Amino acid sequence: MNQAETLKQWKEKRHLSVCTGQAPDNRLMRSSCSPFPRVFSFSSGKGGVGKTNVVTNVALALRKMGYRSMILDADLGLANVDVILGLAPKYNIRHVLSGQKNLCEILLQGPRGVLILPAGSGIPELTNLNEAEKLLLLAEMEDLGDSIDVMLIDTSAGISDTVLYFNMAAQERVVVVTPEPTSITDAYALMKVLSNRHHIKEFSILVNWSRGAQEAKKVFRQLSAVTDRFLGQLSLNYLGFIPGDEAVSRAVRNQKAVLEMFPGSGAGKGFVALAEKLISKGRDSYVDGNIKFFWRHILKL
């Protein structure tokens, strides 16, 4: 089954809500009665913190929970979601912008039907489209938004304009940090820019590759202390940690998600707990999480 057929099936089943118990296959149905897809950005101050692994495995964990998840691989120049999963994308958003392909034709399917939207080098062009191009792309994106529950954005590392765009448009911003001092410093720098320039005041913190809960909480306290001192009214939410685990390295070498190869590993259990925590959080800002709002913000419409 190709991507277009899968998307069509999702749309056909969309109106059979799991809340009524009428869905023939709840693996393809959203597990929430909310009509709004949720949009989460995953960012880091520096590269090499395992952010792409986090995004990939959380998407798979959500899929196993019954949510229709999609990854937007927005790590320009170093897009690695396809590499981690052993996929070979031929097209990306640039081919949609040029009219060569429609959105359904560039989507990739990962494990258990996780959708992957390979942004590739097309993202910088999004802010330079004419009105007709923007409306065309928006129509395709909004149509896709009706068929997913959660979109996870794997941004580039650092504080480039593209990283800032995605963080501003997402409903919730997850900052991935490791116990390394440079990672902590750079994570603070990212939040400082988003806070001072764009008035974003709430972030969720995930500590990756931690040796345990005590070390992870120490990292979080360090970040909290410096943000409280220099950034004022900033709200940091502790999401927990993913333990350092050789299973992750072994899965990467086999181009698989750790939840595929070693679901019972410490990291695997950590990703499931993280997915549960993300999806169970309150949804006070429905409009802010709407995928239509997200793309209108990105396209400046």
Nearest-angstrom CA–CA distance, 297 and 301:
7
In this predicted model, what pLDDT tens digit does every residue of 59-110 receive, in sequence order?
999 999 999 999 988 775 555 788 889 888 888 877 887 788 888 889 999 9
pLDDT at 96: 81
pLDDT at 139: 72
CATH number at residue 149: 3.40.50.300
- Cross-strand partners of 43: 175
26 part of a folded domain: no
Angle of CA points 187, 41, 128, to nearest 5°: 105
10 part of a folded domain: no
152 part of a folded domain: yes
22 part of a folded domain: no
Domain count, the chain: 1
262 part of a folded domain: yes
- Cross-strand partners of 175: 43, 205
Half-sphere exposure at residue 120, Cβ-oriented, CA atoms within 13 angstroms: 17
255 part of a folded domain: yes
191 part of a folded domain: yes
Read off the pTM.
0.83
pLDDT at 2: 53
Domain that holds residue 249: 35-299
pLDDT at 244: 96
List of the chain residues with pLDDT < 50: 3, 6-33, 284-289
25 part of a folded domain: no
